[in-house]
Structure formats: structure tokens, C-alpha cells
Structure 1
């Protein structure tokens, strides 16, 4: 299957916006290696863009340019920014989704968590730029998926199989409608209706295969 769909610009992955173009130029100056660009972009979004819930951000962002402008976003918004930075370099980047509890337990229900899949070195790797804190520690990795949250067997946590070219529509709607973090937490969806653009991906490393379906 062609990966061209994972290079497209969208209203949320707006890599032609001046602020995204300027940031990409600054990040990738004198960098020619695709792999190095992926690492640099991932670490920038992970470390320099705060997770809005961690800092109780006063704004709710969705599209990449707004995430960059305000330096904050939840996982979906940060994934949009990482996709925008890498797609601007013609590096195919998609989204992956996980069913997670909103809190430490399921007392407040579930939500859809987002992270990225990046096609580099003739294979897809998984990167979660959610951002580290005292409970999350994610490092760049080519070998094991760099994921913030492991599924817990005592709860209904799982990965939706496949890789998606576009952001999750219901989550984007929630981000657009919410005026603050409190409204957003109540409105975050816990389901997906879309079908993945890639259902199965052949991976060189057998340990990665289960992450693609």
C-alpha cells in the first residue's frame, strides 16, 4: 500500500502554516537523516510542548499550529503537531489509538488516547509524545514501541488495531467545543467509529508485529 495518505496536509495537521514551517526549519537545520529528524521532532514535542492536563492549561488546542503557538496540548493535539512536523519533511506519519481509563481507575470512565506511527527505515515505529511526568517516562526507541501507557488487564484497556491517516474525528470535535480542561475531560469520547487506513503492517522485528493489528 502507498504511504502517500500519511503525507497529506489537513486542517489539523497544517504543516504549511508559517509557525510550523519556521519550527521545522529551526529543528531540522543541517539535519539530513530521516531517522534523526524523527528523533528530534519526537523529543521536541514530548519535552517542549506541555501536556495540557499536566499543567491545567488555560487554553484547549487541536490543530498543530495552535499547539505550537500555545506550547500545550493533550495527546491528540501533540500527535497532530508531531505529524505536521514530520509530514513537512515528507516523512509518513499516522495516528494510533488506545482505550484508557480517564483516571487511575475506571471510576470516571474511559477515553481515546492518541500516539503516532512513523514510517522510517522501511518500517513503522510507534512513538508517544504525550510528555513525561512522575508516572510516565518514554524514550525514543526503534526497537520497542515508545508508548506512555501499558494496557492493564484489570481494566478494559486495549489498542485499536491499525494506523490511521487522520485525527480521530470525535476527539477533534471535543477539543474544538471545550472552553477549558474541565469541560474537555467530561467530553472526551471513549469510542472510535473510523476504520484504520493500514490494518496490517509487516515489521522486520517480530516483537513489533503485534502492535500493528
Structure 2
């Protein structure tokens, strides 16, 4: 980061690779601290009944891959910022007059386009954002018939609301402007962190209880995780 910013030029730029690495390290450190704090505040997950534990175990299998997708989408935003791709196409849902820009594979070698091509950087972020919203919607739909603790159901609803705000309202507001206001850009980044925090909270809430807690429940059904 320091090396990129200290280059002598009229407009200092940070390498998108260093920006993505920096953001990834921030996510990892933040997730570790947040998970530890949650473990102190909530040593055991909600486990008042075996039925709720069965439902939580099913949510757990869905929550982890969705959380990873949220993280990947967030990191892809670093390549948008690093390549200044946010200013390239200020239309939505199309990118200019087309759905897919013609120059997405204009660089050689081919792999370079995914990290340094302005058009594909924004296209990737759009596709990942839409996929994340669809995945979270699928998570919500898949849990509708499960017997869940009210706190878990409420948390999933909050995740859906945050995902919709993060994927629809904020990005569209940013794209339709000629320039990206600092306030909207910051709100978009804060939204990613908030969504990631909610997903982390969900994973923490549906984790397997300790053996001592399981022994206090009637051993009617074996919990599969």
C-alpha cells in the first residue's frame, strides 16, 4: 500500500492487487475479532429445543458458502476501486448500451483482464453482487419451512434486507451519477462490512452447541452437522 501510494505521479494510485490484499487482511482480522467477541458474549447458541437445533444445523450448511460468497464479492470491489472502474459505466442494469462490454478480454494474457481490465472489473462485481443477492434470497427461501429459533429467523430477515439495500439501492445510486460521491462510496463499503458481520453472526448463532449443553436436552433426535 505504501509503495503504491508513494509513487511520483500527478495522481498517485494504489495497485488493485495491493488494495485487494489489504482489504482481505482487514476482513480476516475483523472476522477473527468479531467472532471472538461473539463467543465471549454468547458462549452457547440458542438451544432450547431439539427441533430448533435440527433447524439450525440445516441453516449452518447453507450459511457458510453464502458467507464466503459475500466475502469474495466484497474483495472484488477492491479491484473496481483500484482500477477506477466505478466511473467507467454509470448505467444500470446495462453497461452503456450493452449488457457485456466488447473490450472485456482486450488485454493479454487473458488472465490479466480479470484484475486490470476496467470493464470486466465492474462486470465481475455486478455479477458477484447479483449472485450474492440471489444466494441470500435462496437462503431465506430454504429456511421458511424449518423450525428455527425466533432470533435466527429474525437475523436471516435482516440479512435479506441488508443485501437488498447493498445490491440495489446503493450501487444504483452510485452508478447513475457522473462521479461517485465519497459519502455513497463509504456507505457502500460500510454496507459490505455490515452484511459480512450479519453473516458471521448467523454462522456463530447456528454453530453446534457444546456437549454439556446437548446433554441437557432430551436425546430424541441425533443432530447432524
Pair in the same fold by TM > 0.5: no
Compare the two structures and name the one with the higher helix fraction. Answer: 2
Compare the two structures and name the one with the higher strand fraction. Answer: 1
Structure showing greater radius of gyration is: 2
Tell me the TM-score normalized by structure 1.
Answer: 0.29
Tell me the TM-score normalized by structure 2.
Answer: 0.28
